[in-house]
Structure 1
Amino acid sequence: MRALTVDLARPGSLALTELPDPVPGPDELLVEGLAIGICGTDREIVRGEFGTGGELVIGHESLGRVISGPGFAPGSLVAGVVRRPDPVPCAACARGEFDMCLNGQYTERGITGIDGYGATLWTVPTQYAVGVSSRAGVLLEPASVVVKAWERLERFAFFDFDSVLVTGAGPIGLLAAMIGVQRGLDVHVFDLAESGPKPDLVESLGATYHRRLPGHEVVIEATGAPELVAQLLGRRLVCLTGVPSTEVVPVDVGQANRDLVLRNGIVFGTVNSNVRHYREASAVLDRADDAWLSAMITRRVPLSSYVEAFESRPGDVKVVLELD
């Protein structure tokens, strides 16, 4: 099989490598890799900014076609769950909530400790495979992250709300907005892009696009921009999904503390997802307009040009590397 590999000890070591075909175990699927989504984490791994150890097959946003194995018909489209519980296990992993692992000993396919899905063949235990209905299923992993964000947002909400602000019109922000629209909410999206696909994608959802930050009290933050996060700390309910840079920005912690206390405010972070979120995300994608999901994928790159998939280009929303 062909696989995208990196040596985590050598920045810039991304290569298309011939590796032995995987042999599935009795409870595993053998899957033909069709595509992987490329995100910021993948680019950080390739640049040597994330991860330690030796050689790794990268790719955590997956889409494949089942060749053989229990529980799925041959030809079925599936995506694989990324995280695996730690071997101890901690209290969260023992309850199946391995996305909330408490001791950090989890592993993640294509990121930490386990080879990923960036290969023309891969195997996955049936319990970590989730069916999808179309090639838009390559968006299942980011959609699962957003499903979890919404699950936690609604759990923490102590008041009814009929509108939500999403900051950032990248893949996570757009999928968060899409779910908000599916839930019948008045959705507003803040981003700095003046042109390109982002405003059109937001407006075609039936959401409202802003280039100045509105004052909504319920926010899903999807940029990780420190200055923006600092402006949101006084809102009533804020879910942080973006991973920030190391940029230092001044924050009036006393004022933020006062606002949060006096307004019973909640600010929380969320990342990753478990099997429950993947399955719900599959249903979310099924309810979505397939043409809109396809429009989110602004570049599809063939495997022969794999280096281009890891480049950031103006106008990119979601980049997908086609493996077949």
Structure 2
Amino acid sequence: MRALTVVPHRAGSLALTEVPDPVPGPGDLLVESIAVGVCGTDREVVSGDYGYAPPGRERLVIGHESLGRVRQAPAGSGFSPGDLVVGLVRYPDPVPCVACAHGEPDMCRNGRYTMRGLKELDGYASEMWSVETHCAVRLDSGLGETGVLLQPASVVAKAWEQIEKIGTRSWFEPRRVLVTGGGPFGMLAALLGVQRGLDVHVFDFVKSGPKPELVADLGATYHTGWIEDVMTALRPDVVVEACGAAEVFTGALSTIGPYGIVCLTGVTPGSRRITVDVGTLNREMVLENAVVIGTIDSNLRHFTAAAGALAVSNRDWLARLISRRVPLHRYADAYDRRENEVKVVLTFG
């Protein structure tokens, strides 16, 4: 079968190659690919900045945002041929650490976890793939192609779970949330905020394109300009940072109000330097009982929660998050960055 592979840490190695068909074990599903999502981390792998091949192998099958249809399922597994499914990304380390032993490899304590399409495990950008039944999540069949949004939705489902757990350190009744960044994570974080009945606001740098309309159609409010001005005007109870810009992160952190929570889901490039008065920032956070947390990846619980959230969402709105669909034979186009895109998807057919 055909699969999209790279030699990790070698720029220009992306290729559509022939690999052996998957041979599912007795507890595995055999799945036919429908689509894989493309994100910034995938582009880092393609550009040679990240990625680890399986032990003893040169090439890695990429793709961690999966969507497929079950072709073969073990008897009594709860899955059936034709089911729409997504595979988990992060797997526990072999020791395992305390977090991995409790089913939370996304919180691995020793860094020996593996990740499909990223770290020592083949991903899902192949015409077929196999996955353990306990590492697969069935989707509402009506979601169709938009089911490829489940993995990023699971990451923000985890973010919201952690926000709510931290909020319960005392009385917690948030009313307003500001999401910074109008990419897939930001849009899906805003969606989950709306589903929680919050007054949702989204900040991004662009003033045109699909993002302002997507936010408006969600029932939220779109903002551009200076993050400090937006923060001062809104005084949000919660900030979900999903753009990874250093000036947005520091602007939100320095202006969060009393008992505010800032949750970081966007990764800031390490090469960007800005000046921050750390002493004043520390003083303000202490005096305001403010909290900043970072979160990345997700586990089965978050995938399941996200599947429920997508199942009750407007299907047309979800479909509009997919800005571009690229067929497998034009795979290189999927990893080009273009202005005003939200989500790019590589399709199999």
Is the pair's TM-score, using the shorter chain for normalization, greater than 0.5? yes
The whole-number CA distance in structure 2 between the counterparts of 1:289 and 1:52 is 37
Q: Which residue of 1 is the match for residue 335 of structure 2?
A: 310
User: Per-residue deviation at 1:315?
Assistant: 1.8
The whole-number CA distance in structure 2 between the counterparts of 1:104 and 1:296 is 32
Q: Would the aligned equivalents of 2:9 and 2:49 in 1 still touch at CA under 8 Å? A: no
Q: Give TM-score, length-normalised by structure 1.
A: 0.98
Of the candidates 172, 182, 186, which is equivalent to residue 199 of structure 2? 186
- Paired residue type of 1:8: P
Q: Would the aligned equivalents of 2:175 and 2:237 in 1 still touch at CA under 8 Å? A: no
**Which has the higher mean CA deviation after the structures are superposed, 152-161 or 110-119?**
152-161
The whole-number CA distance in structure 2 between the counterparts of 1:76 and 1:196 is 35
The whole-number CA distance in structure 2 between the counterparts of 1:98 and 1:287 is 28
User: Per-residue deviation at 1:52?
Assistant: 3.9
Which aligned pairs between 1:1-324 and structure 2 lie closer than 5 A? 1-53=1-53, 54-70=58-74, 71=77, 72-133=79-140, 134=143, 135-157=145-167, 158=170, 159-212=172-225, 213=227, 214-215=230-231, 216-234=236-254, 235=256, 236-246=260-270, 247-324=272-349
The whole-number CA distance in structure 2 between the counterparts of 1:315 and 1:218 is 26
Give the secondary-structure state (helix, strand or coil) at the position aligned to 2:50.
Answer: coil
The whole-number CA distance in structure 1 between the counterparts of 2:348 and 2:14 is 15
The whole-number CA distance in structure 1 between the counterparts of 2:201 and 2:207 is 16
User: Per-residue deviation at 1:210?
Assistant: 0.6
Deviations 1:111-134 (A, max 9, x none): 001000000000000000001122
Q: How many residues align?
A: 324
- Paired residue type of 2:28: E
Give the secondary-structure state (helix, strand or coil) at the position aligned to 1:49.
Answer: coil
User: Per-residue deviation at 1:269?
Assistant: 0.2
The whole-number CA distance in structure 1 between the counterparts of 2:331 and 2:306 is 27
User: Per-residue deviation at 1:105?
Assistant: 0.2
User: Per-residue deviation at 1:104?
Assistant: 0.3
The whole-number CA distance in structure 1 between the counterparts of 2:64 and 2:51 is 14
The whole-number CA distance in structure 1 between the counterparts of 2:121 and 2:174 is 41
The whole-number CA distance in structure 2 between the counterparts of 1:108 and 1:202 is 32
User: Per-residue deviation at 1:19?
Assistant: 1.0
Q: Would the aligned equivalents of 2:154 and 2:298 in 1 still touch at CA under 8 Å? A: yes
Query: Which aligned runs of 4 or more in structure 1 are off by greater than 2 angstroms?
Result: 51-54
The whole-number CA distance in structure 2 between the counterparts of 1:85 and 1:208 is 39
The whole-number CA distance in structure 1 between the counterparts of 2:52 and 2:119 is 8
Q: What is the alpha-carbon root mean square deviation over aligned residues?
A: 0.9
Give the secondary-structure state (helix, strand or coil) at the position aligned to 2:330.
Answer: helix
- Paired residue type of 1:189: V
User: Per-residue deviation at 1:110?
Assistant: 0.2
The whole-number CA distance in structure 2 between the counterparts of 1:9 and 1:209 is 38
The whole-number CA distance in structure 2 between the counterparts of 1:232 and 1:314 is 25
- Paired residue type of 1:176: A
The whole-number CA distance in structure 2 between the counterparts of 1:139 and 1:225 is 23
Give the secondary-structure state (helix, strand or coil) at the position aligned to 1:233.
Answer: helix
Give the secondary-structure state (helix, strand or coil) at the position aligned to 2:275.
Answer: coil
Structure 1: which 5+ residue stretches go unaligned?
none
User: Per-residue deviation at 1:217?
Assistant: 3.5
User: Per-residue deviation at 1:51?
Assistant: 2.2
